[in-house]
Structure 1
């Protein structure tokens, strides 16, 4: 399994000799444009399916890889706030796709690839960031990894300085790990990140939360079980958080059950479909 990708797909890729760019903001915008072009050409309209085979041999993907190579000379400290959040969400999703296409053949499921999220990485400036580093270290502010039960970055890790200032639970409606049960692939703009993440939250919650009034239970995506602590202390807290992103009868019915049952409301989690999100 390739460790560090960037442009060359080489496990020995190292920091560029071109020096450090003045700002990561401009490069982030260039990468956004490239990812939007790839999404338009090789992904289904709803963003849930990717044509990995066609993308791998395309000039658009060559253009993306050329831009990704410039990450090795980037200075992460030059990007902050909403631009920082959007950059790392976009890089996570792009790295997932890049990592799958760097394999000898496209798998049927990401689970077939040993340590995919631990080893699939980009060098960004002075440090290497794996998919796990980006999600659990940077975006989740070094909270406990649901699988390893420990923080992603050890004490003293220099990458801790680049963690987001707080956890925004809506990232879970934006990060795409390559499975069919993941949210759709979207490209986020720092200037519009709040509206973009809210749209993603509304779309995901409306599709992944089922309210059964007769049985007085709610059926939800496994994402809400794995990362429940990012939304609140209890399953009830998670449901209350999601109310803001529901509408119509779905919201009305969930509110009714919460009022009737409170913390005793039964919650079940759907099996996660790990089949690859390919067209």
Structure 2
């Protein structure tokens, strides 16, 4: 169109800052499909080019473009507060049992589904390590609830793997499955049990969202995978996160379900 490379870069950066596109790195990614604009440093791709129809549980084209993108801290706190409301309404006092029928019909879950759409444009790289850690812990636990309502609980070993591999949200234009969140983000991109490799390859842009240089074992006391013997569902905040994780660990290990000491 006769535009200079500098003008293209400025337009791309403007769309990027508004959460309407993302940079695509790598040789030829997006070439020839009419969706990417190239400059010397990057390709720009409209945010919904890859994932509409992908099966991600928040991947719809409703009204996500009609508002400015949320900051990670803002949407993270709103998610935490909404999870607390859901916890009080549909989750047992010990945090281990969920009334899914009540959850499905609740105003809180309807509000949560609207909030989940807004994850499409949030920048998961923008917060502090503890903000990102708390955010992804809460997203993981919320996604498990959402996926069990949408897909039903897994009934076999294979369906359990597919449940965690396929249940996903679009966050900042990238797809994050439950496996991606647990092993890619929260375990500092380590290979999970039974997996052949780490979730994020060297050129995967999702690596930039990883808040830790090495795995934090305490996150396993915060994640609820939906099993009966799993840790209670709680909502975590960035401030004092390590103390919250330590408290969750102590509470879990003090229960009869976690540790049993024989008299011998």
The question of a shared fold, defined as TM-score above 0.5 by the shorter chain, is answered with yes
Provide runs of 4+ in structure 1 moved above 4 Å: 12-15, 108-114
Matched, 1:183 2:235: no
Contact 2:124 2:171 (C-alpha < 8 Å) held by counterparts? yes
Instruction: Tell me which residue corresponds to 1:224.
Output: none
Q: What's the offset of the Cα at 1:164?
A: 2.1
Gaps of 5+ in 2: 1-53
Q: Partners of 1:119 and 1:14 in 2: how far apart?
A: 22
Instruction: Tell me which residue corresponds to 1:212.
Output: 262
Q: Partners of 2:126 and 2:63 in 1: how far apart?
A: 17
Q: For 1:148-187, list aligned pairs within 5 A.
A: 148-165=195-212, 166-187=214-235
Q: What's the offset of the Cα at 1:152?
A: 1.4
Task: Call closer, same or farther: CA 1:110–1:98 in 2, change over 3 Å.
Answer: farther
Pick from 120, 137, 153 the counterpart of residue 107 of structure 1. Answer: 153
Instruction: Tell me which residue corresponds to 2:34.
Output: none
Provide, for residues 99-118 of structure 1, a one-character-per-residue CA deviation record: whole Å limited to 9, x for no partner.
11112xx4375755560001
Matched, 1:67 2:115: yes
SS of the counterpart of 1:46? Answer: coil
Q: For 1:69-108, list aligned pairs within 5 A.
A: 69-103=117-151, 106-107=152-153
Contact 2:154 2:163 (C-alpha < 8 Å) held by counterparts? no
Higher helix share: 1
Contact 2:154 2:160 (C-alpha < 8 Å) held by counterparts? no
Gaps of 5+ in 1: 215-279
Comparing 108-117 with 135-144, greater Cα deviation is found at 108-117
Pick from 55, 64, 78 the counterpart of residue 3 of structure 1. Answer: 55
Q: Partners of 2:121 and 2:227 in 1: how far apart?
A: 31
Q: Partners of 1:146 and 1:213 in 2: how far apart?
A: 32
Provide, for residues 9-57 of structure 1, a one-character-per-residue CA deviation record: whole Å limited to 9, x for no partner.
x6x6699434762521101111111111000000000100001111011
Q: What's the offset of the Cα at 1:210?
A: 2.0
Provide, for residues 53-73 of structure 1, a one-character-per-residue CA deviation record: whole Å limited to 9, x for no partner.
110111110011111111111
SS of the counterpart of 2:175? Answer: strand
Task: Call closer, same or farther: CA 1:44–1:108 in 2, change over 3 Å.
Answer: farther
Instruction: Tell me which residue corresponds to 1:28.
Output: 76
Comparing 110-119 with 57-66, greater Cα deviation is found at 110-119
What is the TM-score normalised by the length of structure 2? 0.73
Instruction: Tell me which residue corresponds to 2:185.
Output: 138
Instruction: Tell me which residue corresponds to 1:250.
Output: none
